[in-house]
Amino acid sequence: MEIRKIGIILNGVTGRMGTNQHLIRSILAIIDQGGIKVSDDLTLMPDPILTGRNPNKLAALAETHGPPTIGQPLQWTTELTEPLDDDYYEIFFDASNTLLRVPFVEQAVKAGKAIYCEKPTAATTAQAVALADLCEKANLKNGVVQDKLWLPGLRKLAMLKDQGFFGKILSVRGEFGYWVFTGLVPDQPAQRPSWNYRKADGGGIMLDMFCHWRYVIDNLFGPINSLVAHGSVDLPQRVDEAGNPYDADADDSAYAIFQLQDGTTCQFNSSWVTRVRRDDLLTIQVDGTHGSAVAGLREAWVQSVSETPKSVWNPDVDQPIKFFDHWQQVPSAIEYDNAFKIQWELFLRHVALDEPFPWSLRDGAKGVQLAELGMQSWNQKKWVDVPPL
């Protein structure tokens, strides 16, 4: 049995998402399971090195998640040029702040590394397209994280669509968000990083979430033709990680209608200033001629046309129909792995075995484009077209 090690530079994974989803639940989980078994003769084994600016955070991560977690010391350095200059490291992954991503990726491309990174891939469409062009001209394998495609709830939606459950899809409605505390007295401490709410630091829910909605809609329902959007800065002051108040000038809620090329209407609401009264932090409802479905992050519920109750509008009496009783839960026929880990395994196979990986940096640029067009629509108060990239 050959074990092929793949050196991976994990840059900027000291943040919440980078540590939990990419380091612990993806790379270390793959190592812990014994790698990716390709055949009886070959196993792919990731071998990471952590890079970043804060030596204390990097050392703490390495100490916490080295032996006995992976059986060997977890390497780290604040000198990014060292692993970039080392041919052993084939992949550069970036989960740093969005505004820092472009120069990091540019360095890695010059070093000839395969590129994998978080989204947004850049702060502007022009920058995101330039990164895609750079990788393609250098003939480097590249990809962007599009994790929600592998969430169990959305995989169940895709399965229902492939089975023809919906008939003709009429509309899609997405509700995302929860209440993020400000940290102001007497409020509770904020549960998201402060940069999310500062425009100068690349914050804003439109830039954050429209990148997700682009790949979700494109992959599940079809290409977007046009959109109209509105954003708002609802809570103008928050408290940062050091306990200091700051002006929150980035949008913390965004509302959009996307019209697809086939005429389907998709409406997505995104908010960090909403209190949840629904099945999950993200729910997507698909209504079709033959049936409807509502999916959360992990579960999904369906209602066929034959099980649809006959509703009658009468506000003068208590509602006689218990609407939740007319939905059936979609069973989990398989065991669903972590969404980030699934895509990491696909990218590692892409790099090592040249297997297909369609979720490229150009695909990621489409998400940045949608966010930028959403801001344009918001500022101009009108519908805008979504041109091809």
Task: For residues 327 and 188, state if they share a domain.
Answer: yes
> In this structure, are 27 and 38 located in the same domain?
yes
Between the CA of residue 166 and those of 90, 161, 222, 259, 346, what are the distances in Å? 43, 6, 15, 18, 29
Residue 125 lies in a domain: yes
Decide: 256 and 227 in contact? Cβ < 8 Å. Answer: yes
Other CB atoms within 10 A of residue 265 CB: 13
Q: Say if 364 falls within a structural domain.
A: no
Q: For residue 256, tell me if it sits in a domain.
A: yes
Model confidence, pTM: 0.95
Rounded Cα distance, 24 and 70, in Å = 11
Does residue 30 form part of some domain?
A: yes
Q: Which two tokens stand for residue 109?
A: 């491309």
Residues 20 and 123 both lie in one domain: yes
Query: Are 227 and 374 in a shared domain?
Result: yes
96 and 16 in a common domain: yes
Q: From the CB of residue 293, how many other CB atoms can be counted at a distance below 10 Å? A: 25
Query: What is the number of domains present in the chain?
Result: 2
pLDDT tens digits for the chain (389 residues)? 899 999 999 999 999 999 999 999 999 999 999 999 999 999 999 999 999 999 999 999 998 887 666 667 799 999 999 999 999 999 999 999 999 999 999 999 999 999 999 999 999 999 999 999 999 999 999 999 999 999 999 999 999 999 999 999 999 999 999 999 999 999 999 999 999 999 999 999 999 999 999 999 999 999 999 999 999 999 999 999 999 999 999 999 999 999 999 999 999 999 999 999 999 999 999 999 999 999 999 999 999 999 999 999 999 999 999 999 999 999 998 999 999 999 999 999 999 999 999 999 999 999 999 999 999 999 999 999 999 99
Does residue 237 sit within a domain? yes
Query: β-strand 142-144 against 384-385: which pairing, if any?
Result: unpaired
Residue 54: phi, psi to the nearest 5? -105, 105
Strand bridging mode 224-232 / 384-385: antiparallel
Residue 284 maps to which CATH number?
3.30.360.10
**Residue 388 covered by a domain:** no
Rounded to whole angstroms, the Cα distance separating 236 from 355 reads 47
Residues in CB range of 237: below 8 A, 6 or more apart? 182, 184, 245, 246, 247, 248
Token match 């409807």: residue? 292
| Domain housing 354 | 2-147+338-359
Question: Phi and psi dihedrals of 209, rounded to 5?
Answer: -90, -30
